Amino acid sequence: MKIVMITETFLPSTDGVVTRLTEAIKYLRKQNHEVVVIAPDLGVYEFEGAIVEGVKATTLPFYSYRPFALPQKTVKKLLQKHNPDIVHVVNPAFIGASGVYYAEKLGFPLLASYHTHVPKYFDYYRLNLLKPLCWGYFRKLHNKADINLCTSEAVHQELVEKDFFNVHVWGRGVDIKKYHPNQYKKDMRERLSKGQMDKKLLLFVGRLAHEKEIHKLKPLLQQRDDVCLAIVGDGPAREELEQTFLGTNTNFTGFLHGRELAQAFASSDALVFPSVTETLGLVILEAMASGLPVIAAKSGPTIEQVQDGVTGILFENENTESIVAAVDKLADEVSCHQLKINARKEAEKHSWQKPSEQLLQFYEKTLEYNNIQLLVEQG
């Protein structure tokens, strides 16, 4: 099978979408499928034997943190050049919108996947009035696909309620060899905690943006002098967050990658996950694989991943007392040790093998569905 993936983000960018795609590509290539990735041109032109076709990218005035590839006719030329059996458009918005349009126009079977809750982000940028238009835009794009995928049951339910067509859940996964408790390093813990080895070290990993709700952790640090926070990542809100957390026991490290990131997980005491806008949050599973309990704000996707009191601790969103109480539970060493064991055991159930196999099955179903539609149209 020849597959063209069209995505708004790819290497060398680092996020949950890129992680999911790269793991899928590794699996598809091992199964001898051809893969072509059409993505913003950021200097990567090959991955695991897959061709990466970079298209012109530009920085948008309202989001200067990273470049995007805007809709363009280059996508049509690339689809004609590679003539795929199926097109997979990932998070269609800009270049993905071109992917949807030209895949439909050229008659290629089309699958689309929904990974980012952009309409919910509007609440954090005072753009609430535009939310219906945003939902309408994404619904129109996704409903041109033969099959749509999303990454959690909670989002699946929401998309169905919003009248998205033929939606299925694409399961989660984690590299259980890369993320492992044996990656603990004293030097990394010292680095993250700025030498405060006796304090509870809380870890945040992700893009630094308003919708990640990192600011909600500040009252915890103001009330507790026995904890420190390491914020691993970067993004458009970094400078603002550095001012917000000024005077607190917080360390902004910037992005960490590969082994350093695995060490950061394994060398901390707990992952804190304050966002309620995520469609999944792969860092939760990466932390659990590292033997790290997760302290997360209650939301549909987090409840699917974190079993309260078993693999982590859930707290009420926007409730300082609730998050303080959650951190208090880390003081019980016996209970905390059991949380770590349980978290690792749960993560071991979710290697990338199964979701990658699942994606291939969805590709095959897309081809079948498309063939049926052609027969119906032909009478």
Q: How many CB atoms lie within 10 A of CB 29?
A: 15
Q: Closest Cα partner for 367 from 111, 80, 82?
A: 111
Strands 270-273 and 294-297: parallel
Q: Are residues 226 and 358 in the same domain?
A: no
Q: Do 83 and 110 belong together in one domain?
A: yes
Q: Which two tokens stand for residue 343?
A: 């978290």
- Same-domain check for residues 107 and 240: no
Q: Which residue do the tokens 């901390």 mark?
A: 268
Quick one: pLDDT at residue 157?
97
| Structural domain for 235, as ranges | 181-347
Tokens 């954090």, residue?
124
**Predicted confidence pLDDT, tens digits, the chain (379 residues):** 999 999 999 999 989 999 999 999 999 999 999 999 999 999 999 999 999 999 999 988 767 778 999 999 999 999 999 999 999 999 999 999 999 999 999 999 999 999 998 888 887 777 788 899 999 999 999 999 999 999 999 999 999 999 999 999 999 999 999 999 999 999 999 999 999 999 999 999 999 999 999 999 999 999 999 999 999 999 999 999 999 999 999 999 999 999 999 999 999 999 999 999 898 899 999 999 999 999 999 999 999 999 999 999 999 998 999 999 999 999 999 999 999 999 999 999 999 999 999 999 999 999 998 888 777 777 6
Mark whether 194 and 335 lie in a shared domain: yes
**Same domain for 206 and 158?**
no
21 with 164, same domain?
A: yes
200 and 272 share a domain? yes
How far apart CA 154 and CA 146 sit, in angstroms, is 21
Report d(CA 271, CA 314) in Å as an integer.
12
Element (H, E) at 118: helix 118-121
Residues 336 and 370 in one domain: no
For residue 191, the domain's CATH number is 3.40.50.2000
How much is the pLDDT for 379? Answer: 62
Residue 374's pLDDT is what? 72
Task: Report DSSP letters for 251-314, one per residue.
Answer: EEEE---HHHHHHHHHTSSEEEE--S--S--HHHHHHHHTT--EEEE--HHHHHH--BTTTEEE
User: Which residues lie closer than 8 Å to 72 by C-beta, 6 or more apart?
Assistant: 55, 56, 95, 98
Total structural domains within the chain: 2
Whole-prediction pTM:
0.94
Are 167 and 248 in a shared domain? no
Q: Where are the beta strands (DSSP E) in the chain?
A: 2-7, 34-40, 46-47, 50-55, 58-60, 63-68, 86-90, 110-113, 147-150, 167-169, 200-205, 227-232, 250-254, 270-273, 294-297, 312-315
Are 207 and 309 found together in one domain? yes
Q: Are residues 13 and 103 in the same domain?
A: yes
What's the CA gap between 149 and 115, in Å, rounded?
9
Residue type, 122: F
Q: Are residues 21 and 160 in the same domain?
A: yes
